[in-house]
Structure 1
Amino acid sequence: MSKTAETVWNNCMTFIEDNITSQAYKTWFEPIKAVKLTDNALSIQVPSKFFYEWLEEHYVKILKVALTKELGTSAKLVYIIKMENTYGNKQPFTEKIPSANRSNLRSQEVDVPLKNKSPELKNPFVIPGIRNVKIESQLNPNYNFESFLEGESNRLARSAGLAVANKPGGTSFNPLLIFGGVGLGKTHLGHAIGVDIKDKYPEKTVLYISAEKFTQQYIESVKKNNRNDFIHFYQIIDVLIVDDIQLLSGKAGTQDVFFHIFNHLHQNGKQVILTSDKAPVDMIDIEQRLLSRFKWGLSAELNHPDYDTRVAIIKNKLYRDGVEMPDDIVEFLANNIKTNIRELEGAIISLIAHSSFNKKEITIELARKIVDNYVKHTKREVSIDYIQKVVSDYFQMDVDTLQSKTRKRHIVQARQLAMFFAKKYTKASLASIGSQIGQRDHATVLHACKTVDNLSSTDKQFRKYVEDLSKKLTL
């Protein structure tokens, strides 16, 4: 009985499945299709150039053994790169190659002898001209769980992070979305989870990337016509950590490609960790299908550290830097810098530097001077109550009127301006803003912010309201 491409490849697959991990087999061999057998050359179809290059880089030896068993030492392998357009009308693979079957299929035959040609991997992190197959994690080892102190403000997020690090992809916290204001430790915690996973599971591919960098790489892939290679690269990651995911706001193309990557990773049991400065419900201009996926796992908030946590952070920082400081100064710093951890650590560094450079002892007077200078240059966060009072006074009404249910135009506009400035100048969520300004929901606040933006650009008088109130609130 004569051999067919299917029977030869099925026998090869059986041999390969017995000799590699089930996950590797599922990812790299199940998508392959046998196409034809001509003489001793077996043609197989793969979904992208990246896919072919990865096979050549990592599995050429086992392919050679398997094919030699079936066809003898003169066996040859031909790759046919054929990708179906699964991304709407966008062309995922745009080399100028004649269509094979339909207008949304493109193919390329690559005659590859069974030897490792070491093709350069399409890794967006590789510097051109320097060959580097290994995917570096981009993690900062200094951002670990040991230096991420637990407190009431971060207990849920830290505990969830530890659970994910112990069993990446195997908990219900997938994705894990960590959100909170500036300087509260989102990036630190994201790195800490990745560092811990690399320590416990060195065989896993872990990658940290900012949403901004991800967007830049995607734009570059579109320019170079290798969008699908970009997607396949990210689909092989075991643990993907994306920082500041809210920066995908308004970027339709990047959101689309991230959607496909996210789906693939999630469906294959890979772990996704995201950080954001706001909860999913408060994200603006992010597609609903992405937001719904962000909510699949756990959204854990990082809040402002309480007094005890601030004291612990100061003492830990001093211990790591080998510096001693009297308890009364530690307490003074903890009492006077409450906004975020980054500012707290910045003040400690300033205090130590002043003491060291000026050869002065660290005293309460020096601490007071540093804190006064530090806090003076720190942007003051106004409260929602204060914003409502300023807006009400400006429009010569009381706060109760501003919060009332009336639909009179000037009152509605005043209320919308209060919501707009509350979103701009506080870290409160949209739901919290709505609750404090007349028991409205987050959708009302979102509508108010968009209305203010629109009227500011079309109505000269309204634009003056915005400018006047901005000055009053930032004095």
Structure 2
Amino acid sequence: MEKNANLVWTNCLSIIKDIVEWQHFKTWFEPIKPVALKEKILVIQVPSQFFYEYLEEHYVNLLAKTLKRELGKDAQLEYRIMVDGGNNYNKPVTVDVAGHGYKSFSNNEMDFPLVVNTPVKNPFVIPGLKKMHIDPQLNPIYTFDAYVEGDCNRVARRAGKTVAEKPGANSFNPLVIYGGVGFGKTHLAQAIGNDVKRLHPNKVVLYVSSEKFINQFVDHSRNNAINDFIHFYQLIDVLIIDDVQFFNKAEKSQDAFFAIFNHLHQSGKQLVLTSDKPPKDLEGVQERLLSRFRWGLSADIQMPDYETRIEILERKMKNDGLEMPSEVVKYIAYNINNNVRELEGALISLLAQSSLNRREIDLELAKKVLRNFVKSSSKEITIDTIQKLVCDYFDVAYDKLLQKTRKREIVQARQITMYLAKAFTKNSLKTIGEHFGGRDHTTVIHSCQTVKDLMDTDGVFRDNVMELQQKVQLASL
């Protein structure tokens, strides 16, 4: 069947939507319209110059690879950019996407060219395979500089820096990074890999998702090439496996990984693993593997607090050369509190709407755009609400929080309440202090720091605070 522009673009989108975040897909790919197909050149129409520039900066490699699947290695992409003059168009901007070295935009892409110098069907069975020919599969934008440190990730980030500086020669081997979806596990894991490549150019680094590892194992099993598969992975100096929880239904893949793990660890190589749960809670993973996961350090990443979310937004704006009113930044940080991915998605959507509608970013536009992210029924949390939640949780009378007493249980309850009030309300330190019997802002600062210190050293205390944070969030719904 002869292909036309609509069919080619539809097939491209079917691949792209499985790779790109849903909100990014709706923002950056749904508005694109296929215009024409001229031999190997697909012409697409985009709404603005800004739109074209954003696609070229962030998605050109993804567009290139999907288009080459449809039209072959000589595929090209041509943009038609709409301008203010109604139906008139700029002269089409043509971009040749063939023959370039691609950045690793995602580890979910359908091909996994571990060896980039020689095109072969099986990337593992190559006579005389040399280490330097192994593509690390790292996204260069994932760096430590771009990773904002906060109370939510401090231990994991600093452990990651230690691993990057001395891979395989530290006590954090393996380093297991665990936490919720969108908290930054993949970013941190790849930042380690990128830093190793920067500090130790001769080290062989490889990042791979557990799903890709399993799929590769299955392919090599069918070809009776499991030994080649294991041998390849044993060449790696720093192996980063993302989302190891998906090993739970792959018993034979676990056997292969066990052999790889043992060889690398005994050879002084570094392993970095990510998971949505700590090793002790991983179900369906062999105990012998879990015991090895516990040999090194398990570091958790928690939901970013309000201050960290603001810093994440400000860092991204600075890196992209953007400016935005502080009240808008605070509004986004206050209302988007699920994960970093959603936070950045909200910012991108706001920027896109500003560009497409040719409108300055203000609080009104932010509220309109963020309706897709913020529950309309959400209500603002007050200090009084937090005080009641903490009192109920610790079974402490409300008036006790206001009294000058040194009883440990009362002091800690008051300190936690101040900490949560600072994190979940927009009140000043002075206002928070006034709600606790007229205490001043220095008391609030001291209380917040005390809570942070105790969360780093006392597991039970940290669990209590985390549970209370969830209760506060639920109270806003």
What band does the TM-score fall into relative to the shorter chain? Answer: 0.5 to 0.7
Deviation at 1:226, TM superposition (A): 1.2
The letter for the 2-side match of 1:278 is K
1:283 corresponds to 2:282? yes
Given that 1:124 and 1:217 are in contact with CA atoms closer than 8 Å, whether structure 2 keeps it comes out as no
The letter for the 1-side match of 2:200 is Y
Deviation at 1:369, TM superposition (A): 1.3
Q: Which runs of 5+ in 1 are unaligned?
A: 1-122, 379-430, 437-474
Secondary structure of the 1:143 match is coil
TM-score relative to the length of structure 2: 0.52
The letter for the 1-side match of 2:306 is Y
Q: Distance in 1 between matches of 2:201 and 2:345?
A: 34
Q: Distance in 2 between matches of 1:223 and 1:372?
A: 49
Secondary structure of the 1:249 match is helix
Q: Distance in 1 between matches of 2:296 and 2:225?
A: 31
Deviation at 1:322, TM superposition (A): 1.4
Deviation at 1:220, TM superposition (A): 1.0
Q: Distance in 1 between matches of 2:220 and 2:372?
A: 46
Q: Distance in 1 between matches of 2:283 and 2:371?
A: 36
Deviation at 1:128, TM superposition (A): 2.3
Summarize the alignment of residues 146-161 of structure 1 with structure 2, pairs less than 5 Å apart. Answer: 146-161=145-160
CA distances 1:103-142 after superposition (whole Å, capped 9, x unpaired): xxxxxxxxxxxxxxxxxxxx96564269885111111111
The letter for the 1-side match of 2:120 is P
Please identify, of 364-373 and 332-341, the stretch whose mean Cα deviation from structure 2 is larger: 364-373
1:305 corresponds to 2:304? yes
The letter for the 1-side match of 2:334 is N
Corresponding residue of 1:455? none
The letter for the 1-side match of 2:185 is K
Corresponding residue of 1:209? 208
Q: Distance in 1 between matches of 2:303 and 2:234?
A: 35
1:314 corresponds to 2:319? no
Corresponding residue of 2:264? 265
Corresponding residue of 1:233? 232
Please identify, of 124-133 and 233-242, the stretch whose mean Cα deviation from structure 2 is larger: 124-133
Corresponding residue of 2:327? 328
1:128 corresponds to 2:129? no
Deviation at 1:361, TM superposition (A): 1.0
Given that 2:114 and 2:136 are in contact with CA atoms closer than 8 Å, whether structure 1 keeps it comes out as no
Corresponding residue of 1:222? 221
Q: May I ask how many residue pairs the two structures share in their alignment?
A: 262
Secondary structure of the 1:322 match is coil
Q: Distance in 1 between matches of 2:320 and 2:197?
A: 26
Q: Distance in 2 between matches of 1:197 and 1:310?
A: 27
Q: Distance in 2 between matches of 1:223 and 1:281?
A: 33
CA distances 1:50-78 after superposition (whole Å, capped 9, x unpaired): xxxxxxxxxxxxxxxxxxxxxxxxxxxxx
Over the residues paired in the alignment, what is the CA RMSD in angstroms? 2.4
- Cα distance 1:377–1:321, how it changes in 2: closer, same or farther (>3 A)? farther
Given that 1:124 and 1:230 are in contact with CA atoms closer than 8 Å, whether structure 2 keeps it comes out as no
Q: Distance in 2 between matches of 1:332 and 1:375?
A: 11
Aligned sequence identity (%): 54
Secondary structure of the 1:361 match is coil
Given that 1:153 and 1:302 are in contact with CA atoms closer than 8 Å, whether structure 2 keeps it comes out as yes
Secondary structure of the 2:249 match is coil
The letter for the 2-side match of 1:183 is G
Given that 2:135 and 2:206 are in contact with CA atoms closer than 8 Å, whether structure 1 keeps it comes out as yes
Corresponding residue of 2:140? 141
Given that 1:280 and 1:294 are in contact with CA atoms closer than 8 Å, whether structure 2 keeps it comes out as yes
Runs of 4+ aligned residues of structure 1 deviating over 4 Å after TM superposition are: 123-127, 129-133
Deviation at 1:376, TM superposition (A): 4.2
The letter for the 1-side match of 2:349 is S
Given that 2:336 and 2:373 are in contact with CA atoms closer than 8 Å, whether structure 1 keeps it comes out as no
Secondary structure of the 1:356 match is helix
Summarize the alignment of residues 9-24 of structure 1 with structure 2, pairs less than 5 Å apart. Answer: none
Q: Which runs of 5+ in 2 are unaligned?
A: 1-112, 378-458, 465-476
Summarize the alignment of residues 359-438 of structure 1 with structure 2, pairs less than 5 Å apart. Answer: 359-376=358-375
Deviation at 1:377, TM superposition (A): 10
Deviation at 1:323, TM superposition (A): 1.2
CA distances 1:437-462 after superposition (whole Å, capped 9, x unpaired): xxxxxxxxxxxxxxxxxxxxxxxxxx
Summarize the alignment of residues 90-109 of structure 1 with structure 2, pairs less than 5 Å apart. Answer: none
Deviation at 1:282, TM superposition (A): 1.1
Corresponding residue of 1:81? none
Deviation at 1:373, TM superposition (A): 2.1
Q: Distance in 2 between matches of 1:314 and 1:268?
A: 41
The letter for the 1-side match of 2:170 is T
Q: Distance in 1 between matches of 2:215 and 2:329?
A: 43
Secondary structure of the 2:149 match is coil
Q: Distance in 2 between matches of 1:354 and 1:124?
A: 38
CA distances 1:173-212 after superposition (whole Å, capped 9, x unpaired): 0000000000011000011000000011111111000100
The letter for the 2-side match of 1:355 is S
The letter for the 2-side match of 1:225 is N
* Bigger Rg over Cα: 1
Secondary structure of the 2:299 match is strand
Summarize the alignment of residues 76-95 of structure 1 with structure 2, pairs less than 5 Å apart. Answer: none
Deviation at 1:375, TM superposition (A): 2.5
The letter for the 1-side match of 2:289 is L
The letter for the 1-side match of 2:163 is V
CA distances 1:282-316 after superposition (whole Å, capped 9, x unpaired): 11100100001001000000100011100000111
The letter for the 1-side match of 2:174 is P
1:245 corresponds to 2:237? no
Q: Distance in 1 between matches of 2:287 and 2:218?
A: 22
TM-score relative to the length of structure 1: 0.53
Deviation at 1:271, TM superposition (A): 0.1
Corresponding residue of 2:446? none
Q: Distance in 2 between matches of 1:334 and 1:148?
A: 16
Q: Distance in 1 between matches of 2:189 and 2:251?
A: 25
Deviation at 1:168, TM superposition (A): 0.1
Secondary structure of the 2:257 match is helix
CA distances 1:386-405 after superposition (whole Å, capped 9, x unpaired): xxxxxxxxxxxxxxxxxxxx
Corresponding residue of 1:345? 344
Secondary structure of the 2:202 match is coil
Secondary structure of the 1:254 match is helix
Corresponding residue of 2:73? none
Q: Distance in 1 between matches of 2:368 and 2:151?
A: 30
Secondary structure of the 1:375 match is coil
Q: Distance in 2 between matches of 1:144 and 1:374?
A: 27
Deviation at 1:155, TM superposition (A): 0.3
Corresponding residue of 1:33? none
Secondary structure of the 1:179 match is strand
